[in-house]
Structure 1
């Protein structure tokens, strides 16, 4: 009798529901799933049910292709729209989701007791953020969260190896994180090579040491006098409790740029980021000292974004400390009416530790910045072809354990400019730690085609199967990255890494923007289409060196673009001369 009643109940439930009937709670579709726990992480324990998770829900951007098309027009020096950057309002309109998506996601959240007043939405509405207990997140996403431990430095994160969404939301949600993202961007402590106590300013040899004056001579900015009030501004992104020191900057200027002794930087807090002068960070000091030292007296802003991998989660630590700082920072900067025209970031991660759907959405946010006239530069990483994390692993994480080179992210995003590293002078050669290669997530952008094809012809069948020949190639450009003299906590240090190359190149772009603004022209904005066409003639081609890793010699630098040093290092005066012919009056 009981079985009959159950059968009857099932039959009644299976009849097509009326418009007012609730959707079945069990009707889920898997949104993302990992074949295995990413390299280096160990499952530690179930996440406590009261531990808080800040869920970021990305809604589809149906008009993104239109934004992308306009980005390439305004970044192409041969197009009549070159330099006609979009406003914040125009960009917001191009990435806004359909109203149906917004309504369905709002209704879904409300069905879980999450009303509008607890939701935080981006200005375009394409991101919805809400903080919930793990138990609620597991219910909403039909998943299980665990704490995972990384033994190299005892980092803990709370993640799921898969998650799902209700089937009726499948086309209305692109991504939800933190779920399957195991990335952990690192700063100087792990990815920059610290080489001990630094040198005395007297008697420095520019063949082996990088200082402000050495870089000015090498990259041809010596004697150029930027105008403080030209409007050119450099933004420096900082994460993971890295704080820039005012006193260290003053001491640095005393040693290496005395005319800038009264120079400083603006501090900007993101998501409650601190400005702790008692615990300065080596990465933050490096970025501020060289970004400011090369671009002085232009305005520099240091963005301190709160968040770090959490300590072991338990009932005593209920708050989620975000280890996804890029999205936190991007949400903030895209909401600014007038962001800096150049932004440098010296943090990176192995591409494969970042879920592809999440990487695409973050990459699209860099495109939004580019459309507004912002040049975004990232260091390429410090592990050669083995990526950027320690301990390195050159095995694929799809369960097959195939040997492969490891690209880095966000460097692999086609809407940012990736900066590799060189060392020595006369000639400069590729630094062996300079990460570079080919993305497994992003296809090669059109602006790279001829340059990358030439390199692949040079490479032949070497390393076949270890990299993606059709992927976006990195880096795009390069700059010195070895033996940089830095002041940290009042002491002199010598340090190396592509993390030094990125602020160096970015500062030179700020000088170029200064020149353009003073002559009534638009700033450069998204650099790559210009660099791979007209701008390439203003770069110093690097012909020697390689980036070994994964038991190989890695890729070799050679004539033209290569996946070690990109198109080369900057010659400021050549680039300025080239820009006089790049106003663009042909409709391509």
Structure 2
């Protein structure tokens, strides 16, 4: 492969393009200047950026059909997940698209040895100087600075392609993406008095919760959430996951969040002593690191790993540390200028033959900051994982119906399209219909926690699997409620919920109390992983894409979820939505009852359907 220095020299010496293109260019994508960002100086011409070129996936509708069939418990193909090779065949671009894009790249002096391709050949990656990228895309890159944080990126608001390529190139990034991926923790505080309060609470009588293990939960769980609290509350006490049946759980980490093993051992010693001296596998992606200096432990990473691995022990566990989201610092010229970490992670995991059956993520962007083309393409990547039998959970957000800012005074509930119209702000990827969005609850008995993110996507239409449940909620709303503030036809979030505050973890050697839907997502994912362990031990496939099953079960046996009917999620100067009977945009269909779910999902649905068909005949 050509060296970057050679490419730089080539671009500077020959005016960026080795072979000038005479093709007529037409604007492929443009966005208005993003609110909250300021355009600074032109981008340095010799700065190297990695362009990602997405080629169309003409058979994606076929993949989507397969996904829904293997995920629908009422379909005869339920659980018959696709292989890696089968998925790749369904997302592969047409040969003509590959040829024409190759021809265009060659016209700019870029050949096969200069690029990398995804296994399905639907993504092409090239590293080029800014000057060459500007020539190829007939655009100008600038340094843009986020006003509130000072973060900077190299971006453009418009780019063009030769007209004949428009139907053969879906998108090119980084160009118009101005999103700022953030972890979703709403409260984080040291609590040195925690131990005393727990000791006092432990003397109180248990709280009666009929759906819990043994019908009660320790009273201390109203002040401090531990592994034991979760197992009691969600009826999972006594279940032993397998260490050897092939089941695995994964946690994603971004933004230099490091999961500290020493803190994990301290956590295990206190809350899961049988797990002491066990650990997890760390996989480094795109320059990700594994800094084990105690002071560098990440609150988000520690929260996710300590509870997920504590709840699912001895299930083999993986932590993905993904780099590539610095952001760019103009005076340092960081070589990897990217804040699109999901694509880096997806690039890696889609290449793997074997994957954890359950993977949780506690990071998101405001949906409106992600170009529609990019959001849809990333969402399609999640669909590929679902088709292969992977369950993906994402935190629904920590700003109620707002944009994720903990302080309502800092929420910016306006459209990002130049109109500055007041609007609720759903988050992406939770708004992707191929993932399971997890909202938050607090206390015992459970009520919706005020920061639980929820609402309706402005990008993705409502999928069929949630049509019945969501329509019932909308029909109960008073006419005109929040008219114009949300899209009543959009994909609705969250799907489910779990405890989301007062989690006791260890961070840099100290006990702390932490909360957010970033706690709820790995908690729900852990329950799913335990269900997968039970299924796999019975010779059944993993649950895979969860949502069709979730809504089918809620419609047929609502007791498998603990319906949350109190609380609301204020934001954008409003009280937000109310938790209510059935699905709601605060807690979804509710929190899990593991015992009841296990009894259902360890049936072989395919056998049940086959026998039913025989009886019918």
The answer to whether structure 1 residue 242 and structure 2 residue 257 are counterparts is: yes
Unmatched segments (≥5 aa) in structure 1: 1-21
Q: Which residue does the alignment assign to 1:500?
A: 519
Q: Which residue does the alignment assign to 2:571?
A: 549
Greater Cα offset, 78-87 or 155-164: 155-164
State the secondary structure of the residue aligned to 1:386: coil
What are the within-5 Å matches in structure 2 for residues 343-362 of structure 1?
343-362=359-378
Selected match of 1:32 from 9, 26, 29 = 29
The answer to whether structure 1 residue 171 and structure 2 residue 171 are counterparts is: no
Query: Is 1:235–1:302's contact at 8 Å kept on the other side of the alignment?
Result: yes
Q: Which residue does the alignment assign to 1:452?
A: 470
Q: Which residue does the alignment assign to 1:149?
A: 145
Q: Which residue does the alignment assign to 2:540?
A: 521
Deviations 1:356-415 (A, max 9, x none): 000000000000000000001100110110122574211112222211100100000000
Selected match of 1:255 from 247, 270, 277 = 270
Deviations 1:500-542 (A, max 9, x none): 0000000111100000011111110000000000255411110
Q: Which residue does the alignment assign to 2:40?
A: 44
Give the superposition deviation at 1:151. Answer: 3.0
The answer to whether structure 1 residue 574 and structure 2 residue 591 are counterparts is: no
Q: Which residue does the alignment assign to 1:366?
A: 382
Query: Is 1:235–1:344's contact at 8 Å kept on the other side of the alignment?
Result: yes
The 3 A distance-change label for structure 1 pair 521 and 28 is same
The 3 A distance-change label for structure 1 pair 485 and 78 is same
Q: Which residue does the alignment assign to 2:133?
A: 137
Deviations 1:45-94 (A, max 9, x none): 21111111110010000000000000000000010000000000000000
Query: Is 1:421–1:497's contact at 8 Å kept on the other side of the alignment?
Result: yes
What are the within-5 Å matches in structure 2 for residues 162-561 of structure 1?
162-187=158-183, 191-197=185-191, 199-200=194-195, 202-203=199-200, 205-278=220-293, 279-314=296-331, 316-317=332-333, 319-389=335-405, 391-426=410-445, 428-460=446-478, 461-534=480-553, 536-561=558-583
In 1, distance between residues paired with 2:73 and 2:329?
51
State the secondary structure of the residue aligned to 1:273: coil
Give the superposition deviation at 1:230. Answer: 1.8
Unmatched segments (≥5 aa) in structure 2: 1-18, 202-219
In 2, distance between residues paired with 1:356 and 1:283?
28
State the secondary structure of the residue aligned to 2:596: helix
Query: Is 1:420–1:566's contact at 8 Å kept on the other side of the alignment?
Result: yes
The answer to whether structure 1 residue 123 and structure 2 residue 142 are counterparts is: no
Deviations 1:408-430 (A, max 9, x none): 0000000000001100112x111
Query: Is 1:78–1:582's contact at 8 Å kept on the other side of the alignment?
Result: no
In 1, distance between residues paired with 2:451 and 2:110?
48
In 2, distance between residues paired with 1:24 and 1:106?
13
Output the aligned Cα RMSD: 1.6
In 2, distance between residues paired with 1:29 and 1:568?
48
Give the TM-score normalised by structure 1.
Answer: 0.93
Give the superposition deviation at 1:586. Answer: 4.2
In 2, distance between residues paired with 1:89 and 1:263?
34
Pairs aligned (count): 562
Give the TM-score normalised by structure 2.
Answer: 0.89
Query: Is 2:46–2:129's contact at 8 Å kept on the other side of the alignment?
Result: yes
Give the superposition deviation at 1:23. Answer: 9.7
Deviations 1:278-323 (A, max 9, x none): 1111100000000001001111100000122334324x52613321
In 1, distance between residues paired with 2:539 and 2:299?
38
Greater Cα offset, 385-394 or 65-74: 385-394
State the secondary structure of the residue aligned to 2:381: helix
Greater Cα offset, 294-303 or 37-46: 37-46
Give the superposition deviation at 1:441. Answer: 0.5
Query: Is 2:328–2:338's contact at 8 Å kept on the other side of the alignment?
Result: no
Greater Cα offset, 259-268 or 490-499: 259-268
Give the superposition deviation at 1:229. Answer: 0.8
Give the superposition deviation at 1:255. Answer: 1.6
In 1, distance between residues paired with 2:402 and 2:569?
9
In 2, distance between residues paired with 1:581 and 1:372?
20
The 3 A distance-change label for structure 1 pair 27 and 226 is same
State the secondary structure of the residue aligned to 1:348: strand
Which structure 1 residue ranges, 4+ long, deviate > 6 Å from structure 2?
none
